[in-house]
Structure 1
Amino acid sequence: MKIINLQDRSELLPAIALAHVQAFGTLLPDWTLAQAEAELRAQQRDGIPCTWLAEDDSGWLGSVSLLHDDHEQIRGWSPWLASLYVDQAARGKGVGATLVAHCVAQAAALGVPVLYLYCETPMVAWYRSLGWRVHAELQLGPLAITVMAVDTGCR
């Protein structure tokens, strides 16, 4: 498995946007496929926002993004690890953990001391196992979410 920048596989952008809308649409019910594609097209290679893909010989396995803001109702912290997605067939094989570690390392390289994410309760233990800590618990529309934080090692 290797991690590459989305810009190196721009032909996958429509498929990635569709996967993101399908996976995260309940958190953002007004988010459209066209908006998801536009957001991915605006990604940078060496800055924020940026998206990386995990791939192997079989193709695209998953993605993760580094964003300034991840939801319009949560603007108190920045930047965010966002849109962690792993294809169903690739789950349980370390793809997600590899993508998270890559995003944290890239945030550190960009001078980000603390990185945030939000998730629903079932994912809290998994992120804790990767070194993240609970930062806040909030209500986001009908969903109870946990904001988590990790120190990147950048001072």
Structure 2
Amino acid sequence: MHIVNLHDRPALLPALAAAHVQAFGELLPDWTLPQAEQELRAQQRHAIPCTWLAEDDAGWLGSVSLLHDDHEQIRGWSPWLASLYVQPRGRGKGVGAQLVRHCVAQAAALGVSILYLYCEAPMVDWYLNLGWRVHTRLQLGPLAITVMAMETRQG
């Protein structure tokens, strides 16, 4: 498995947009496939916002994004590790953890000192095991979420 920038795989953009709408549409019920595609087309290579894909010889396995804002109701913190998605065939194989580590490293390289993400309760322990800490808990639409933070650079 290796990780590439979305710019290196533009043909995958429609499939990735469809996967994101399916996976994250509950939070954004008015979000459409064309909007998701437009957002992914706006990704940059060496600046925020950017998206990376994990892939193997059979194709793409998952994705993660680094965004300035991840949801209109929580703009008090920035930037965000967002849209972590692993296809079913890649789950349980460390793909998500590698994508998270890659995003954190890229954020640090871009000068980000603190990175945020939000998740629902079942994923909190998973992120804690990757070195994240609980920042706050709040209600985001219909979901009770935990905002987590990580310092990307040491001292």
2:104 counterpart residue number: 104
Q: TM-score, normalised by structure 2?
A: 0.99
Q: Percent identity?
A: 79
Query: Matched residue of 2:60: which SS?
Result: strand
1:149 counterpart residue number: 149
1:69 counterpart residue number: 69
> Which residues of structure 1 form unaligned runs of 5+?
none
Between 145-154 and 12-21, report the one with greater CA deviation.
145-154
1:8 counterpart residue number: 8
Q: Amino acid of the residue matched to residue 61 of structure 1? A: L
Q: Aligned pair in 2 of structure 1 residues 37, 130: CA closer, same or farther (>3 Å)?
A: same
Residue correspondences, number: 155
Q: Distance in 1 between matches of 2:128 and 2:27?
A: 21
Superposition deviation, residue 27 in structure 1: 1.0
Q: Aligned pair in 2 of structure 1 residues 38, 154: CA closer, same or farther (>3 Å)?
A: farther
TM superposition outliers: structure 1 runs of 4+ over 4 Å:
none
Equivalent residues in 2 for 1:4-153, closer than 5 Å:
4-153=4-153
Q: Amino acid of the residue matched to residue 124 of structure 1? A: V
Superposition deviation, residue 82 in structure 1: 0.2
Q: TM-score, normalised by structure 1?
A: 0.99
Contact 1:49 1:67 in 2 (8 A): yes
Superposition deviation, residue 154 in structure 1: 5.8
Query: Matched residue of 1:83: which SS?
Result: strand
Q: Distance in 2 between matches of 1:130 and 1:123?
A: 11
